[in-house]
Structure 1
Amino acid sequence: MEQSTHENRQLVSALLSGAIAGLSVDLALFPLDTIKTRLQSQFGFINSGGLKQLYRGLGSAMIVSAPNAAAFFSVYEASKRMTIDHLKEPIVSNMVSASLAETAACLIRVPVEVIKQRTQASKVSSGIILKEALREEKLIGLYRGFLSTISRDVPFALIQLPLWEELKSIWCRLTGQPLEAWESCVCGSISGLTAALITNPIDVAKTRIMLAKKDNKYGRVNFLSVIRIIWKESGLRGLYSGATPRITFITIGGAVYLGGYDFSRKLIDHLLIAS
């Protein structure tokens, strides 16, 4: 009974802390995400909106932000508990857990990501974009770019989460003290920066696929083919289009998201135990 209560408390803590972390990142850094999307758009930065209305598409992002982050961290924490005894090595457990968590989160995130990015790169509302997508491609159209998103986000999570956990562990060993909130933020920032640099070409391909109509050259092929097209058309510069705002977003976001998660979880754990 006591173990069951403890596990339930951990689940509630992960859900609430993840939701808080996700909302905090999206509210604070949404303009950088908009700039990144417009820089990566095949229509060009200015034609996609330039620096105007940088919070366009925020509504659709907010709908999924809390449940997406809550799903991610609850699956991540649950998977770590279930796999650590079988996989022995903590880093392997963290990698497996990160992959499962990211896959679960993508099931929630991708449809809203499609609407959000099309809204960011256009001059019409999210509602009109949603109706158009459903009329032209039905529900399956809202999962355009799902495989490319998984192909970007699972490797991203495989790098970011284990690196974050390892950096925190190293920091604790060096100081001999439990981590402070700002120290967890620094570890989250470094791990996010590293993962963002490595996965940016996949992110560009994912954006092109999500913005494409079904008869567009980017809408008819998989993400590897899109990467080849971009490489042929504009080389490394094309594959790292939007890299500056994206890497800035994720570097700051890693601090807010992962550091904020740790801080919120400690606070919520304390409140749950006290109650």
Structure 2
Amino acid sequence: MENKHGYVTSALLAGGLAGTSVDIALFPLDTVKTRLQSAQGFLKAGGFHGIYSGIGSAALGSAPTAALFFLTYESVKNIAGTESQLSPVVHMCAASAGEVGACLIRVPVEVVKQRAQANRHKSSLQVFKATLSTEGFRGLYRGYFSTVVREIPFSFIQFPTWEYLKKCWSKHQNTPVEPWQSSVCGAVAGCTASGITTPLDVAKTRIMLAEKGSVLSKGSIVHALKVVYSEKGFKGLYSGILPRMMWISIGGAIFLGVYDKVKKTVNTYYMKKEHDVT
């Protein structure tokens, strides 16, 4: 069992490092995905120009978002326990709780980031100020519900799959998985979850980029999906699926691999510290 301080420290430190490394390293892929999903289309949204537009907001929000997610995730796991046949359900509930909390930080970051990505002539700070002046504080949380609705199914698939693959691999080799093996499991889990939930991501992007006062801006996922389907058909619902799957596969490998590596290091430190005291 992990030391109480160990799991809190590892969740905050490992989550923060993992989130920042992924969001910064793979930001160009995220920009391409956002522009493919925008109503104006890839080229009009900027194409491959200004591929790092919006990186400031991503860099600022990555660490606290990931740290809050993993702190909640590990806390629920520790309270509920995972040594039973219900462990997949525990992982689903823990991931869902983590996403609801993390979205309190993630959504304002996503609003600013995606608007900057879709308008390469404006910086993150300019987008932030414009959003506050035209929509107020509530504007920063446009799409909160649609983001949560997207993230929960994604986490329902990704984290139980990740934990299950690690468990199977560990059982096969009769030793706990190494961080690099956790990375492989994370890539597979992320790729699977991202492909299945792409339509929800498209709806979320459209809602966040919609003009103030429009029907889309009200945040109805069903309406957003209908609009996309009427404009571009079934294919439109999966706009940006390749860069999204690529981004989340690589991101899942880095994110979950770095997380397990730092978590293992922190736990080893606390175990050694307790051993030295006794």
TM-score range (shorter-chain normalised) is over 0.9
Matching residue of 1:165: 163
1:75 aligns with 2:83: no
Matching residue of 2:106: 109
Q: In structure 1, what is the Cα distance between the partners aligned to 2:135 and 2:201? A: 23
CA root-mean-square deviation: 1.7
CA distances 1:65-104 after superposition (whole Å, capped 9, x unpaired):
0010000111100001112279861111111101000111
Task: Check the 8 A contact 1:98/1:157 in 2, yes or no.
Answer: yes
Q: 1:180 aligns with which of 178, 198, 218?
A: 178
Matching residue of 1:60: 57
Counterparts of 1:95-134 in structure 2, within 5 Å, are 95-122=92-119, 123-134=121-132
Deviation, 1:161, is 0.4
Deviation, 1:253, is 0.6
1:49 aligns with 2:46: yes
Deviation, 1:6, is 2.3
Q: In structure 1, what is the Cα distance between the partners aligned to 2:269 and 2:49? A: 42
Secondary structure (helix, strand or coil) at the match of 1:219 reads helix
CA distances 1:145-169 after superposition (whole Å, capped 9, x unpaired):
1111001001100110011000100
Secondary structure (helix, strand or coil) at the match of 1:234 reads helix
Taking structure 1 as the reference length, the TM-score comes to: 0.95
Amino acid at match of 2:129: K
Taking structure 2 as the reference length, the TM-score comes to: 0.94
Q: In structure 1, what is the Cα distance between the partners aligned to 2:154 and 2:255? A: 14
Matching residue of 2:4: 7
Matching residue of 1:19: 16
Deviation, 1:220, is 3.6
Task: Check the 8 A contact 1:87/1:93 in 2, yes or no.
Answer: no
Deviation, 1:231, is 1.2
- Relative distance call for 1:169 and 1:86 in structure 2 (3 A) is closer
Count of matched residue pairs: 272
Q: In structure 2, what is the Cα distance between the partners aligned to 1:124 and 1:187? A: 38
Q: 2:137 aligns with which of 139, 145, 148?
A: 139
Counterparts of 1:156-235 in structure 2, within 5 Å, are 156-235=154-233
Q: In structure 2, what is the Cα distance between the partners aligned to 1:258 and 1:85? A: 18
- Relative distance call for 1:84 and 1:147 in structure 2 (3 A) is same
Secondary structure (helix, strand or coil) at the match of 1:262 reads helix
% identity of equivalent residues: 47
Task: Check the 8 A contact 1:19/1:66 in 2, yes or no.
Answer: yes
Q: In structure 1, what is the Cα distance between the partners aligned to 2:82 and 2:21? A: 33
Matching residue of 2:276: none
Task: Check the 8 A contact 2:146/2:219 in 1, yes or no.
Answer: no
- Relative distance call for 1:267 and 1:243 in structure 2 (3 A) is same
Matching residue of 1:150: 148
Q: In structure 2, what is the Cα distance between the partners aligned to 1:29 and 1:202? A: 21
1:263 aligns with 2:261: yes
Q: In structure 2, what is the Cα distance between the partners aligned to 1:271 and 1:86? A: 24
- Stretch moving more, 158-167 or 172-181: 172-181
Task: Check the 8 A contact 2:38/2:205 in 1, yes or no.
Answer: yes
Amino acid at match of 2:138: I
Task: Check the 8 A contact 2:3/2:270 in 1, yes or no.
Answer: no
CA distances 1:174-199 after superposition (whole Å, capped 9, x unpaired):
12122122211110001001100110
